[in-house]
Every structure is written in C-alpha cells, then in structure tokens.
Amino acid sequence: MKPFSLTLKRAAATVFSGGVIAYPTEGVFGLGCDPFNADAVGRILDIKKRPVHKGLILIGASLECFKPYIAELSSEQEQRLNESWPGATTWVVPHNGKLPGWVTGNRSSVAIRVPGHPTALALCSELNMPLVSTSANRSGCKPIETALQARIQLGNELDHIVSGNVLTPGKSSQIKDLITNVQYRS
C-alpha cells in the first residue's frame, strides 16, 4: 500500500473513532471530524473558540454523499452544484432535518462542498460520508496554511494531521446560497 493511502486510512480511522484531524484544502488547512459525533464537534468548536450557532461546513466526495441530509433539489439546482464541484465553492442548501443542530447552527440550511483539493477529496472518498470542514485556526486569528503550522499551533489538540500543501494559500472557499443566490463570502 502506498504511503498516501496509509495516511488517508489513518485519518479516516481517526474520524471514525471520534477524533479531530487537520488536513489541507484549497486555501487553508481545515479541521475535520464526524459531523454526527457531538464530542468531536465540541472539540473543534472549543479549539476554534467558535459558537455553535454559526454552524459548520460539510465536505463530501460528491453530491450523492449529501443527499441523505439535504432537501430535495431540482435538476437545475443539482446541475449548478455539480458544475462548480469539485472546487472551492461552498453552497448553502436547505437540509431535511437529519443533521444535528451543532452542524447547522439550528438553521434550516447547511453549507456543503465537494473540495477541489486532491487530498481533501481523496479523504472524503475514503470516509464515504460527510466530514466537518472549518478553517484550522482560532476564531479571529489567521488561518493555518501548512501542516507544520497546524502541528505548532494546535498539535496537542489534534489526533491526526494529514500532510500536504494548500493550493491557493490564504484564500478560503466562497460561500453562496443556492436558493437566494446571496454570496456570503467571496
């Protein structure tokens, strides 16, 4: 087995066992965990000093990964999502009530993305489930852009760090609302 496959399997095993990981995404390192594990999500919120009402982004390997948790979309809406993915566009879509409030911020919508970063996408494929994805930093602080920064700043609070480089350092994903077309972050 190749070393890259081993590190992804280890990262996935960490997520499945309730751990918190850091991994490279398009513009910054992300923190991730099982979105259905309250303790793991709580740890991420504690690390970031982020209030639960803000909600969290989920990433997955494809739109199919999210379908059990989101409201039914029109074929045109699905096409819009698929045309922007994989990539650095996060979409806010209505959910169907099957996601915990600590992920949605107790809103009727959830933010989802199929990442354009090959490592993040491979990790999502290995997991075969949505993964919490939020920037690896404390709220209000500069996002982490390298595995070394993650190890130095957050190392003892993380269970696993996936090595790799971000694609466009410092540029977070854009966030758009699929229904209203409002752009929350560009």
Q: Return left, alpha or beta for 51; rule: phi > 0 is left, psi -120 to 50 is alpha, else beta.
A: beta
Q: What is the pLDDT of residue 7?
A: 87
Q: Is the distance from CB of 147 to CB of 22 less than 8 angstroms?
A: yes
Q: What is the DSSP letter of 7?
A: H
Print the domain residue range for 59.
Answer: 3-185
Would you call 12 helix, strand, or coil by DSSP? helix
With a cut of 70, list the residues of the chain below it in pLDDT.
Answer: 1-4
CB 121 within 8 A of CB 171: no
Read off the pLDDT of residues 108-152 as tens digits, 9 standing for 90 and up.
999 999 999 999 999 999 999 999 999 999 888 888 999 999 999
What pLDDT is attached to residue 4?
62
- What radius of gyration do the chain's Cα atoms show? 15
How high is the pLDDT of residue 2? 55
Structural domain count, the chain: 1
| CA pair distance 117, 115, nearest whole angstrom | 5
The CATH number given to whatever domain includes residue 90 is: 3.90.870.10
pTM: 0.94
